[in-house]
Amino acid sequence: MTTHAAREQQVREPAAGQTRRRSTGARALMLTATALVAGATGVAGTLLHQNVTAPDTSAVDAQAAALAQDIRGDLTTGFASPGRTYGGQFTEGTIVAQVVAHGGALLRAGPEQGRSGGHVHTAEVMLGLLPPGTGTVDPDAYPVRCYRYTFGFGAHSVKHSTMPCPASRIDGNPGSPAVQMGVLLAHRPSGTYVYRQMATAGYAHTPQGVTDLLKDEGLVAAGDDVRMASARAGGDDVHVFALRIDDACHYLRMDSSPSAARLVPLWLAPADEQEACGVKQALAAATLYGIDPAKAG
């Protein structure tokens, strides 16, 4: 219970302590404004006035550095890592939760190209879509920026650097990628701490079991459109689902093992997989990162 509470504190959504509702509230308005400005100027990764004055990127860069530190904490092997972070294995959902907590969205993730063995992973993210916290900020102080993270097995392996934001939508359709990311974030399920640690044990690995889990956790409501495809992974204990929740693709990793309660089982699929949203992509994304401290010796 203590570990779970610590993780919820450390992996939190920008409006911590408030209920997130799609397209409502000041945070949603700011997100919409960000997307509309980026679309209106025709320049992806821009905010109000950025075509006039060079933006100060220090605030967003600080969030990028904090995200790198969060990943280092996840990769710290041990049952009780220093600080608030639990060390051990984690899902892609943990990364998504942390990216969202720092005001961004995951563009793509997977093994680093050109590397064999799949031991070095990459995550490309767009930050600055929402300023973390609840305060009001000057738009020029929080521009949209993109970053690339690489990591392996240990905390020392985490590296991050800036990268050019995509010039067009990730799915190949015309339009601004900032608008695309804004729409994805607006279509997240309702509730507080949407992408969080939760136990899936006790639920049938069936469409009905998935529906029961989502309803019990308050992640879907009456009228929400949920479509799904599934595949088994790693034996009978693990089942992976690709879900479309109100047109946003999500992955769900249902694991019956007792240790799975510390994992983040549900997450928003990366932007480059939103179009396909299939079991092949979900199975690849369900691979655990890090090292199980119980097996580390």
What was the pLDDT predicted at 271?
93
Specify the pTM.
Answer: 0.75
pLDDT of residue 259: 76
Give residue 293's pLDDT.
52
Average pLDDT for runs of 10 along the chain of length 297 = 39 38 38 42 38 73 94 70 54 89 90 63 91 61 89 86 92 84 76 76 90 88 80 76 89 86 89 91 84 54
Domain that holds residue 291: 2-295
Burial of 82 (0-12, 13-18, 19+ CB in 10 A): exposed
**pLDDT single digits (tens) 265-283:** 999 999 999 999 988 899 8
E strands in the chain: 105-111, 121-127, 145-151, 159-163, 226-232, 238-245, 248-255, 266-268
What is residue 5's predicted lDDT score, i.e. its pLDDT?
38
Domain count, the chain: 1
